Amino acid sequence: MPFPVDITMVKETEGRLGIAFPVAFVDRMMRSNGGEVVIEDEEWSLHSFLDTTDATRLKRTCNDIVQETTNAREWEAFPSAGVAIASNGMGDQLVFLPDPERPTQLQPTVLMWSHETGELDVVAKDFGDLE
């Protein structure tokens, strides 16, 4: 069961990636750092924000957004500026992309990246639509 996460952990992740997350995503993750979302009957496991508050939280969050994004960026055709926020366990990722007009801010649009084709498809105009 995911724990809530403090805003300081979110800010640390944003600092490590050099980009700010959409408000709806941060709000959801602060209530429950991780968990799942369902898109068209498919469950996606949300990558957590690294939480170093105590040993239990650290253990549960060590495969965090930064680690998962770093791994995903090594895959061929993964968007170089994409941030991986969830996985379906079969190689596909839910992704945020930077706003072209404000490159240090991620857009609220949630995209599904296919590991087989390298294509990105919009699954929600805003992360808040998934809740």
Contact between residue 63 and residue 83 where contact means Cβ atoms under 8 Å apart? no
What is the pLDDT at residue 44?
A: 97
Which of these, 118, 110, 19, lies nearest to 75 by C-alpha position? 118
Which tokens belong to 127? 């992360």
Domains of the chain, CATH where assigned: 7-130 (3.40.1580.10)
**Which pLDDT score is estimated for 131?**
64
pLDDT of residue 56: 82
Token digits of residue 89: 């366990």
Task: List the pLDDT tens digit at each of the 131 positions of the chain.
Answer: 678 999 999 999 999 999 999 999 999 999 999 999 999 999 999 999 988 888 887 778 678 999 999 999 999 899 999 999 999 999 999 999 999 999 999 999 999 999 999 999 999 999 999 86
In the prediction, which pLDDT does 120 show?
Answer: 97
Nearest CA to 24 out of 96, 80, 113, 121 is that of 96
Q: Are 70 and 64 in contact (CB under 8 A)?
A: no
One-character DSSP codes across 58-86: HHHHSSBHHHHHHHHTTSTTS-TT-EEEE
Report yes or no on whether pTM surpasses 0.75. Answer: yes
Instruction: Check the CA dihedral 129-47-37-109 and report its sign.
Output: positive
